Structure 1
Amino acid sequence: MIYFEILRLAFSSLWTNKLRSSLTIFGMSIGVFSIIGVMTFIAGAKAQLDSGLSRLGANSFQIQRFPALMSNPWQRYGNRPEIKLPAAQRFKDLMGETAKVNLQIRRGGIIASYLDRRTTPNMRLVGTDDNFLSSSNFEIARGRNLGAEDVALGRSVCIIGDEVAKKLFPDVDPLGLVVRAGGQMYTVIGLVAPKGTSFGESQDDFIAIPITRWLAVMGGGMWRTISINVQAPSQELLPAVQDTAVGVMRQVRGLEPEDENNFEVFTNDSLIATFQNVTNMVAIGSFGVSAIALLAAGVGVMNIMLVSVTERTKEIGIRKSIGARKKNILFQFLIEAVVLALIGGFVGVVLGVVGGNAVSSLMNIDMIFPWGWAIAGMAVCGGIGVVFGLYPAWKAASLDPIEALRHE
């Protein structure tokens, strides 16, 4: 019962000084909000990245001119030669049966139409080959895939994503019909099964045509850089296939043994590692801001509690004179400091989760609740309440009851 009474007195004191308590809670919540908000967004983005990469072909890696995650690769890698179609085709031929090799090039912002129906102007026109489906983990729902002959002859045929099919052919079978995309006409030979979204971008809003036809009609002739996807027969063979592919690509690029690679090779794991490095730097910066804010909030808690001790000196004297022990006074004021910090931490967690998920929602990233970070944030706030509230509580508990009763 005595501890219940101490808790009641602590909450009563906080409620009596609403404005002071609210300002202290606000200062604490700012520090928690900054880290929880950032980590909520990062956790959602990480989950979305894992989901997006899992949709790629299994046991695969990519070869490109530039790194995958880089804001402006031209600053550092602009002098690298393009991966042109003849070189990419030679790489594919040299790899032979070692692995499945897919060549791919794309352009966004394309409008496709059929009769009076049109897609939104963000469709992707993909130039690719017969290994497109396996490399991108797609499946044909109806019809057939692009074939080697389609690529060799540069035929005006296409396979279409599920979203394009729904927009252009809501009530008819698209197979055999002709669509217009990028100013050219293509006969639909296959319908790709739906795959969903990744990082807010639909993976079904595309039309895939033979890469030779893409290069012929999109301009630039053979001088477009190609992305290469290599799929190993199994996970166990992936390292060996990757070593072979690097050697073959160096041969195709005409590099000497002492020359560095003028192309980039990356796997799903390397993409995740790169993303992790970026998010770690963001998290470190957020931790720094949060630490400063929480330190300031802790000092605020101590200051408020010292003011409270001074204002309630006579009350402390009365309680001591009627039998309150030193540990009871210590516990009461310590509880007040911890409650202030925990309420601030709770408000910060709520605001951080809401803010982080709001940013995620704007970027079409799935919303999550970071339980681990929320619990850690509350624990840190509780610790701050104890550390910064201990001295004011000890000072209150150490007051001489006679001197305290004389206080005006």
Structure 2
Amino acid sequence: MFSLVKENIYIAFDAIRSQLLRTILTILIIAIGITALVGILSAVSALENTISSDFSSMGANTFNIQRYDFNNQRANDNEKIKPVISYRDVKTFKEDYQFPFTKTSISFVGTATAEVKYDNEKTDPEVQVYGVNENFITNSGLEVKLGRDLNYFDVENSNSVCVIGSDLRKALLKDVNPLNKTISIRGAKFKVIGVLKEKGATFGNNQDLRVLLPLQKARTIFTNSNINYSLSVKTDKKDMLEGAQDEAILLFRNIRGLRPVEDNNFGIERSDDLINRIGAITGILSTVAWIVSIITIFGSTIALLNMMLVSVSERTREIGVRKALGAKRATIAFQFFIETIIIGQLGGAVGIILGVLAGWGVSAAAGFDFTTPWLAMISAVIITFIVAVLSGLMPAIKAAKLDPVESLRYE
């Protein structure tokens, strides 16, 4: 039995070589559908990985109170402009918010275009400087890789200390121990007490090129009266998040002086809301990938079927000779069936390679975290096998049913 299978495989490859151009075209038709499927699913998977890791920077079990909602940053011109969240708002909130097992962080962006200096070295004016309190790093899902976090006394005493991002360390303090080194921001000097673990970029926003300053100290440097602050609340347990959020909304509405009939004039965003929203978008992209690939694969099934029917017609005399020499119907059918499966799998292999390369290229260009799309690849193998079975069934049956006498007379 094994020798018969081996012989049929050899015959199949000989037949493929004899009609090379037609086979290549059929393989490419199959590969296009598989490329679309694997490529899009690879890119979608990479996007999901990036979103999950990057938006986890909000931290687990957290929600933010900010000026606008994440999905509507004044994108609608008809929307009422919301007032900035002032220092008085956030200070009152932190003092009055007493929900159990929660930590509240306060932060603001002093500038996104700071120039940081160390000795005779300086960065380009693209460093983000934040004023934060002692809970910011924990609530934001950040980690201190070297040194220590900002603490309560640093914030309340306006200590001239800072925590820097990993890219800023590489730019200024690469060859030295950064701890206790003094850097300069807008003429003010700060001692480095910690270095953050690398986070990477989110949609072009480099999270590692930044400096975190104690909130009170940062307020003495960035004195713009229109500074917008953000609040982040983290709960110790996920099942407490809903209650913590409801109480925070009620308190902040009171701080803003809103009447019961008035809408919130601030935005609130949960960490899992962002991921769920992106997940819905990626789900649509996955569905589109399957629809496109199924349409293309349907066309490739017809192409492979037609090719094999033509192959049966062209090799009618060969089939007659083999039957005259004692080949059974099952042997003839199996020969064409094997040939169809080989062509289908070759098309699938080419499609998988092109799809992975396409997904990797899109991921690299967009800065996504690419991972090998095993599910898409396994799906591609199964699909190409089904295509081969469906396409090879009719030609195999037709070849098996040919009359040997009539086949020998075929010209």
TM-score for both structures, normalised by structure 1? 0.87
Equivalent residues in 2 for 1:6-405, closer than 5 Å: 6-54=8-56, 56-68=58-70, 70=71, 73-75=74-76, 78-81=79-82, 82-96=84-98, 98=100, 99-106=102-109, 107-136=111-140, 137-139=142-144, 141-142=146-147, 145=150, 147=152, 150=155, 158-169=162-173, 170-171=175-176, 175=180, 177=182, 179-181=183-185, 183-188=186-191, 190-197=193-200, 199=202, 203-211=207-215, 214=218, 217-218=221-222, 221-405=224-408
Given residue 51 of structure 2, which amino acid in structure 1 is its aligned partner?
L
Q: Distance in 2 between matches of 1:307 and 1:100?
A: 73
SS in 2 for 1:61: strand
Q: Distance in 2 between matches of 1:97 and 1:386?
A: 63
Q: Distance in 1 between matches of 2:304 and 2:4?
A: 25
Quickly say closer, same or farther: Cα 1:354–1:159, change in 2 above 3 A: same
Checking the alignment, whether the CA contact within 8 Å between 2:64 and 2:269 is kept in structure 1 is: yes
- Identical positions, percent: 29
Checking the alignment, whether the CA contact within 8 Å between 1:85 and 1:223 is kept in structure 2 is: no
Checking the alignment, whether the CA contact within 8 Å between 2:163 and 2:193 is kept in structure 1 is: yes
Quickly say closer, same or farther: Cα 1:299–1:61, change in 2 above 3 A: same
Checking the alignment, whether the CA contact within 8 Å between 1:24 and 1:300 is kept in structure 2 is: yes
Checking the alignment, whether the CA contact within 8 Å between 2:161 and 2:214 is kept in structure 1 is: yes
Q: Distance in 2 between matches of 1:388 and 1:259?
A: 64
Q: Distance in 2 between matches of 1:235 and 1:50?
A: 17
**CA deviation after TM superposition for structure 1 residue 30, in Å:** 1.0
**CA deviation after TM superposition for structure 1 residue 124, in Å:** 1.4
Given residue 75 of structure 1, which amino acid in structure 2 is its aligned partner?
N
SS in 2 for 1:237: helix
Q: Distance in 1 between matches of 2:145 and 2:394?
A: 70
Checking the alignment, whether the CA contact within 8 Å between 1:160 and 1:188 is kept in structure 2 is: no
Q: Distance in 2 between matches of 1:241 and 1:71?
A: 23
Query: What is the number of equivalent residue pairs in this alignment?
Result: 403
Quickly say closer, same or farther: Cα 1:293–1:73, change in 2 above 3 A: farther
Quickly say closer, same or farther: Cα 1:143–1:233, change in 2 above 3 A: closer
The equivalent residue for 1:4 is 6
Quickly say closer, same or farther: Cα 1:249–1:329, change in 2 above 3 A: farther
SS in 2 for 1:74: coil
Q: Distance in 2 between matches of 1:77 and 1:118?
A: 43
Q: Distance in 1 between matches of 2:125 and 2:325?
A: 80
Q: Deviations over 1:291-329 (max 9, x none)?
A: 222112111111211211111111122222222222222
Given residue 372 of structure 1, which amino acid in structure 2 is its aligned partner?
L
Quickly say closer, same or farther: Cα 1:313–1:72, change in 2 above 3 A: farther
**Structure 1 stretches lacking a partner, 5+ long:** none
SS in 1 for 2:231: strand
Given residue 112 of structure 1, which amino acid in structure 2 is its aligned partner?
V
Given residue 175 of structure 1, which amino acid in structure 2 is its aligned partner?
N
Q: Distance in 2 between matches of 1:71 and 1:23?
A: 48
Quickly say closer, same or farther: Cα 1:140–1:194, change in 2 above 3 A: closer
Checking the alignment, whether the CA contact within 8 Å between 1:175 and 1:188 is kept in structure 2 is: yes
Quickly say closer, same or farther: Cα 1:291–1:263, change in 2 above 3 A: farther
Q: Distance in 2 between matches of 1:406 and 1:20?
A: 26
**CA deviation after TM superposition for structure 1 residue 281, in Å:** 1.3
SS in 2 for 1:366: coil
**CA deviation after TM superposition for structure 1 residue 174, in Å:** 5.4
RMSD: 3.0
**Structure 2 stretches lacking a partner, 5+ long:** none
TM-score for both structures, normalised by structure 2? 0.86
SS in 2 for 1:323: coil
Checking the alignment, whether the CA contact within 8 Å between 1:160 and 1:208 is kept in structure 2 is: yes
Quickly say closer, same or farther: Cα 1:324–1:59, change in 2 above 3 A: same
Q: Distance in 2 between matches of 1:51 and 1:143?
A: 23
**CA deviation after TM superposition for structure 1 residue 255, in Å:** 3.7
**CA deviation after TM superposition for structure 1 residue 13, in Å:** 0.6
Checking the alignment, whether the CA contact within 8 Å between 2:178 and 2:192 is kept in structure 1 is: no
**CA deviation after TM superposition for structure 1 residue 267, in Å:** 2.9
Quickly say closer, same or farther: Cα 1:364–1:263, change in 2 above 3 A: same
Deviates more, 1:119-128 or 1:14-23: 119-128
Q: Deviations over 1:157-197 (max 9, x none)?
A: 543334424433443655373x333x342422632343443
